[in-house]
Structure 1
Amino acid sequence: MTANASWDSSRGSQSAAGEGDGLVSIESNIYRSLQTILRELNNHTLTVSQSKGVLRWTLHKTVLESPKHCVLLVKILVKELEKVKRLQYRTYIIPLLHTLIYAVYQSVYLPDDLCQRTYDLCKQLLTLPHPYCTIGLAYARLIKMEQITPGALYQRRILAEQRLQNSSFSLQEKVFVFADPAVFPDSLVTGVAADLEPEATFPGELDSVGAMVLHTLQAAMGESCNGAALKQALESLGCVVELFFHKVVSTLAQHTGDVAADRNSYCAKLQRIYEEILRTARLDASEGGPLCSCSLPNPELNFRIWREDNELWGAVIKFVRASSLNYSQECEEPPTASLGGRSRQLVTSTDSGIMRDIGTQDQPSLTRRAGQRRRLTQSDRMALMRESLEEPHATTGAPLPKDERPFTARIVVMGDDRTVGRLAKAYHSLRQREARCLYLTTKVSLELYYIPVSSESPVSLSEEGNIFPQTNLAVSSYLEKMDPWYECNISSLGRMIPKMAKMPASPNRRRKSDSFLPDVISYYIRTAIQPIYLTIYSVKIIFFNPGSTPVEDVFVCHLELDFPNIKMTHINEGSFRITRSTAELEGVMISVKYKRLSVSSREEDTAVSLRVLSAFIDAIPTTESEDPDLSCLTVNFGNFKSAREVSVRTCNIKIRTLENKAFCVCLDKDSRRTFKDVQCVEISRCLDPGFSLQKPSKPQPANFSLGDTKDTEEDHSATHSLPLPLNTFAGVGH
């Protein structure tokens, strides 16, 4: 069956039979490998296996050895997707979809019938609920583009990731990998940095420019292209390849975005470019030959240690400045140290404040310098608000389509819950900075990714009633529950990274492109297109010292209140005869005011006073019975009367000590974000600074009131809250 396919033609019957038997064997091996991956997907009884991601990586590496192997993988994936859709095995749909589109990216040539079958399959997924229909629609558009202009997916990806200069395609991407020094020791930093070094071009290999030309021409011409001769010609031309590179890019640009684009004219133009290349290299390839494998190179991964909070956005600004051709100094605001969530600049004043020092019109002596704060225009306000409306959580209806911005910064952070907390703080700081001076919002599309790395031993997931273990990887555990494919590829990678530092460096190491770490990160940033939104909570910290300024900060995972261990002696005296008995009462008397959530989702103001030993506030669900959509906080108070805990669920809470005893506050389990001598904390959903630019609407007259004003304010707070979008494979709807 496979030997007689249109993409597996042979010239001789004997060679065809031998080659067909070989392809049947390879097809069987690919099918078995795919079934092993799907079986591992449902393996949740024991500690998560570290080999899950290796299986997927090995499969893709195996099929890259020959263009025909990629076609076999696409064929098998399409069959499996049709089967799981028919049998409603929805757990397998998303892993198979991402594996399919990545195989299409890497394929040199896809036959027309197989490409059409893949497109029809993606369209059939539109009848399924989110996220299957969302991912199916996105991939259907990509497959349609590949049908009309073969080679477009590979070409656009390599142009953006490698930032190849051309006049037709201006989009550029850059990947930043930030590691938390609290998790990464020096030995681990050295090992990871060595793995993420840029790939070197080996002898006999084409650079990114030549690889793009080779792949595009082979994808458009198919079996009529002599891949070996074309590769030899490109290697011999040297710098002349740049000329043909621009011709190929302009040809694609002319046929992109046109509804009535003609594939025949597109392929005919590329055919003429192919013939011109061979003539220039003085090679004769009148007959077709075997196609050459041309894998998609990994993007450059800029690995850094995240020591200062402003390093993250400073790197993004430097990327935009270096890449932008029309950079303007008018709206420049360099990253500065953050003090209480605000950026400060020192300006020397030349104004004495004395009226007589202000000169006359004829002889001015001093002039007042214009203020440094620049008021945003109406278009700037709309740009900030549109940034939030593009996210589906922010509206009751469908999200607005995202504008295509010239730059894309992909931020990959590696660490534990402390790292995610720092990322939330940096993201909130960026929105505050943009609210004062709009710069990045209109130029850069920010994509956030998270790779959990911890030195802790893996925790078994089979414990009943505790699917989110109390470790420093609570965010990771939640993402794994929402997205099993994230667990297989990314969480398993995070468990392998600490062991990679202990591996001795082999002098006979294989090619750099065979490195596991950059390959998995590249797969992650290319296929993880569905974000999971973590709610960011704002906390206002008030200190005992009246001279101390209250501090406003944010957290996304966990907040802990540490009360001093106070012991008091309580004396009871009997009435009939005098007896004395003592009982030790531990803890601190606190006042708690919060909005209690009921079953009907209504909120009620509640105020209680209780003596507690400790308090823990979790924004990530810790048990299966809790709401998985991160809609509220879970507050646990350790009661002094017994070992039990008093637990409440709320979105807004205020905790204040009623005694002359201070307590400590720790955000996101990070000792670097600990506040002492605290008297009161106020916690609520963090509002998006972009919406604070709107002028508050005038209150309606009482005769025309449509409801309670308090409910309106609460709805406004919930609608315009600021979440942290972490890209995953399935998204929140899985």
Structure 2
Amino acid sequence: MENQEVESDFLRSVHALLRELDGHHPAFQSERGMLRWTLHKKIDRNPSNGAILIKILVKELERAERFNYHHYIIPLLHTLMYTMIKAPCIPDELYGRVYDFCKKLLTLPKPYCTIGLEYARQLKLERMMPGVLYQRMVSAEQSLKNNSFPYQEKVFMFADPDLLSVSVCQALIEEIKTAQMAQCARSCMLYVIERAFQTLLKEEQRDVRNLHSILQAMPLDVTELCFQQVMAAIEHTGRTVNVEYNQYVEEVRKIYTTLLSTSGEDVQKDEVERSSGIPLPNPRISFHLWKDEDQLWKELVLFLRSPSQSCEQDSLNPELDSFEFQDLLSEYDYCEHTRFSVLSNDSGIERDLAMPSNEICTAEAERSRLQRKGCMKKKGTSLDSLSFLQSGCSGQETKPTEKLHRKSGCSTMEPLAPMKRLHTARVLVLGDDRVLGRLAQAYYSLRKRESRRTFLTRRLKVEFYYVPVAEEQPTTSPAEEYALPDQTELCELAAYLGRADPWYESNINTLCHMIPKLATMPISPSKASASDLFITDVIAYYLRLGLQPVFFQVYAVKLFFSNATLEPAEDIFLIELNIMLEEFNPPSDSLPVKKKPTTEVPGTDLTLLYKKVLLSNREKDESVSVRSTGLIMKAIPSNEIEDLVCLSVNVAEVVKISNLSGRSYSLVTNTIRTRNIKLRSTEQRSFTVCLDKDSRRVYKNVISIEVFPCLEPSYCLQRTKNRQTSLQEEEDVGLAKYLPKSLLLPINTFAGIIQ
């Protein structure tokens, strides 16, 4: 009777979850995501009920596949797999049904076949070695040092202090600290050991219940040795094809027997049975206020150079261990304006150095020309080129086709054996569209550094996650002249991801206004437990299952100023470029004296040169002159019907109208779709340009701009090398034809783009 009540409760919760996906509860949109979190919390409190929930989820998945309810499949499958990781002792019959369902998904288009294949592989591994998904996840996320599974992961949470208030940042820090109170390395090792014994040693379940106190009473070195032995047994089974399941169980039983023999009998008799089960600790999160432009790159370098993270290291402390960046920074600064690499391609003899044409041989020029970086003549290895080939492809074909539709799907390519990356950095940014523009800048800078000297790419895999956060009153300086849009327009990319992936909309977009509310709630003294923390639990769920990236084109812009002495500025943007034309007030003496003054027409005459984007993948050169009061270039489509990788240029055009009372005008908005555009003011009147809605990225006194897709730095490097060694004008020769041409920023979601 008790199991029937539990099953009925789970069934009601799952049906409520499906109704939420259908949008049948518009009055509770602000609470979306709570149903999924509550459902998994029930498993945390009583893991033995996991098999009941999995049975219900399998039935609903089979029903969704039978009646073509495809929008249910991915949310239900993610919920099921997360339950399997949390709950031990799943019957083989359920494993078989889930595995067969995942194989059926291979006949469906992306992203169903991609997710189905990945989960089928995990299920096959879990069925061969029960508990391996849990143990590997905990070992990697907590960076537990062991020789058998050396993979390490770290979560970097970046918050822009200019966009988020101090109270919001402090509330996030407090919740992260609360979640990590009981997550030291020793506790996580105990969880892994207990989970292995609980999953495999079914005959000794009564003794396994006493294991927690046995391990707690042992010294740290004994716990570490036991953890190493358990992980070695698991990984040995995974690497050896001929090892049977019984041999794997016997190895774990030996470790368990040795552990019992070294423990005291009194500890086993006095132990009280634990009712809460073995928890799945949240990933360790390091919180960072994004103040330095190079902070992301420096943190990634520290992650590679530092030893394994442990509980003793405070991941929330901004004062990290000192690291000598002079070597890397100096070489980067030196190469910024001179060359791409520190590898010398010349003989080193002074007379063989290339002399630019029309160079005035002054003493200063001669001194700067003779300065050389200490380096040796060395032929670049193919390892550097291959690392770019792998890190830049982002899971797509090596040479991208000129398709208009946005790309999504699998993550980065599997590296080759000699270049296997053991570190994964999960970069999570909080904020609105403005912080994403900053992320695009940091990503471009990182790729540019790596094109000059490969340091991170060969050993580190970087994944990007985005949680929208919008406060009621954005924290802006009162002296700023640029008027910010309202809150709905400040989260355009999050709205697009919500339309592309409904599960992202239900679980992540709900945090947009929930996180600011967290800052206003009083801190309860009884909230010392990490069992009921909603924000960190949802973020952990997103980091673990949000593995399908959506790729966004980064655009470059070149700005020319009215002052001819100023060099043109170059920048990039991800979401929006806004052009505001300055009001023109002619002086009174310039008006004709004897003629009747005519109606003043607002705006400025502009000339637009662009390539029109068509659905046939053809491009048509266009040239148009308009009088406009301003225009906005949008890189994010407003709806999923016209999801094209192009710029939507909305021009506010001034149209003159003749009537009986005289000439007047009206404003008409026209839309142009293009990838490349040049804009120039024919009246030499300047205008203001704002990038990604960020008042900190405003350019004034601009008279002309050029916008085009930003090129991948590694592609530019190879193309430049080919031009130096060959007189041909062909761009795609050598390694350049295998590299992606455009720079795409991947943002991870649960499903990518659902067709």
**Mapped contact 1:177–1:302 kept (Cα < 8 A):** yes
Q: Which residue of 2 aligns with 1:449?
A: 465
Q: Which residue of 2 aligns with 1:16?
A: none
1:231-275 residue CA offsets vs partner (Å, 9 max, x unmatched): 232222232222211110111121113344421111111112122
Q: Which residue of 1 aligns with 2:238?
A: 256
Q: Which residue of 2 aligns with 1:639?
A: 653
Q: 1:389 aligns with which of 381, 388, 393?
A: 393
Q: Which residue of 2 aligns with 1:8?
A: none
1:299-330 residue CA offsets vs partner (Å, 9 max, x unmatched): 111112112221122111111110389xx999
**Mapped contact 1:125–1:133 kept (Cα < 8 A):** yes
Q: Which residue of 1 aligns with 2:79?
A: 99
Q: Which residue of 2 aligns with 1:159?
A: 139
Q: Which residue of 1 aligns with 2:494?
A: 476
Deviation for aligned residue 1:118: 1.9
Q: Which residue of 1 aligns with 2:620?
A: 604
Q: Which residue of 1 aligns with 2:374?
A: 370
Q: 2:306 aligns with which of 285, 310, 322?
A: 322
The secondary structure found in structure 2 opposite 1:253 is: helix
CA separation in 1, counterparts of 2:326 and 2:292? 24
**Mapped contact 1:341–1:553 kept (Cα < 8 A):** no
CA separation in 1, counterparts of 2:513 and 2:274? 41
The secondary structure found in structure 2 opposite 1:644 is: strand
Q: 2:540 aligns with which of 522, 529, 536?
A: 522
CA separation in 1, counterparts of 2:326 and 2:183? 46
Q: Which residue of 2 aligns with 1:724?
A: 745
CA separation in 2, counterparts of 1:595 and 1:173? 43
Indicate yes or no: 2:429 matched with 1:413.
Answer: yes
Q: Which residue of 1 aligns with 2:712?
A: 688
CA separation in 2, counterparts of 1:319 and 1:667? 31
- Aligned amino acid, residue 646 of structure 1: N
The secondary structure found in structure 2 opposite 1:64 is: helix
Aligned counterparts, 1:435-584, within 5 A? 435-456=451-472, 471-567=489-585, 580-584=596-600
The secondary structure found in structure 2 opposite 1:455 is: coil
**Mapped contact 2:89–2:199 kept (Cα < 8 A):** yes
Q: Which residue of 2 aligns with 1:591?
A: 607
CA separation in 2, counterparts of 1:55 and 1:115? 25
**Mapped contact 1:146–1:152 kept (Cα < 8 A):** yes
Higher mean C-alpha displacement, 447-456 vs 251-260 = 251-260
- Aligned amino acid, residue 554 of structure 1: I
Q: 1:265 aligns with which of 234, 238, 247?
A: 247
The secondary structure found in structure 1 opposite 2:219 is: helix
Distance 1:718 1:381, change over 3 A: closer
Q: Which residue of 2 aligns with 1:13?
A: none
**Mapped contact 1:664–1:675 kept (Cα < 8 A):** yes
Distance 1:393 1:646, change over 3 A: farther
- Structure 2: 5+ residue runs without aligned partners? 310-322, 343-349, 351-360, 402-408, 475-485, 656-665
Distance 1:57 1:671, change over 3 A: same
**Mapped contact 1:405–1:444 kept (Cα < 8 A):** yes
1:141-169 residue CA offsets vs partner (Å, 9 max, x unmatched): 11111111111111111111111111111
1:104-157 residue CA offsets vs partner (Å, 9 max, x unmatched): 111122222222222222112111111011001101111111111111111111
Deviation for aligned residue 1:210: 0.8
Indicate yes or no: 2:176 matched with 1:196.
Answer: yes
Distance 1:388 1:180, change over 3 A: same
**Mapped contact 1:173–1:410 kept (Cα < 8 A):** yes
Deviation for aligned residue 1:88: 1.1
Deviation for aligned residue 1:554: 0.9
**Mapped contact 2:43–2:86 kept (Cα < 8 A):** no
Distance 1:323 1:62, change over 3 A: same
Deviation for aligned residue 1:623: 4.1
**Mapped contact 1:687–1:717 kept (Cα < 8 A):** no
Indicate yes or no: 2:44 matched with 1:64.
Answer: yes
Q: Which residue of 2 aligns with 1:11?
A: none
Q: Which residue of 2 aligns with 1:461?
A: none
The secondary structure found in structure 2 opposite 1:608 is: strand
- Structure 1: 5+ residue runs without aligned partners? 1-20, 359-365, 459-467, 700-704
**Mapped contact 2:335–2:452 kept (Cα < 8 A):** no
Deviation for aligned residue 1:228: 1.1
**Mapped contact 1:469–1:622 kept (Cα < 8 A):** no
Aligned counterparts, 1:203-218, within 5 A? 207-218=187-198
CA separation in 2, counterparts of 1:666 and 1:678? 11
Q: Which residue of 1 aligns with 2:286?
A: 302
Distance 1:474 1:205, change over 3 A: closer
**Mapped contact 1:108–1:293 kept (Cα < 8 A):** no
Aligned counterparts, 1:71-110, within 5 A? 71-110=51-90
Distance 1:77 1:488, change over 3 A: same
**Mapped contact 2:555–2:708 kept (Cα < 8 A):** yes
CA separation in 1, counterparts of 2:531 and 2:337? 43
Q: Which residue of 2 aligns with 1:281?
A: 263
**Mapped contact 2:107–2:113 kept (Cα < 8 A):** yes
Q: Which residue of 1 aligns with 2:212?
A: 231
The secondary structure found in structure 1 opposite 2:239 is: coil
Indicate yes or no: 2:395 matched with 1:379.
Answer: no
Distance 1:689 1:374, change over 3 A: farther
Alignment root-mean-square deviation, CA: 3.9
Deviation for aligned residue 1:514: 2.3
1:620-658 residue CA offsets vs partner (Å, 9 max, x unmatched): 112455x21x41100011112222112211000011111
CA separation in 2, counterparts of 1:36 and 1:374? 64
Deviation for aligned residue 1:195: 0.7
Indicate yes or no: 2:328 matched with 1:333.
Answer: yes
- Aligned amino acid, residue 249 of structure 1: M
CA separation in 2, counterparts of 1:301 and 1:202? 14
Distance 1:110 1:373, change over 3 A: farther
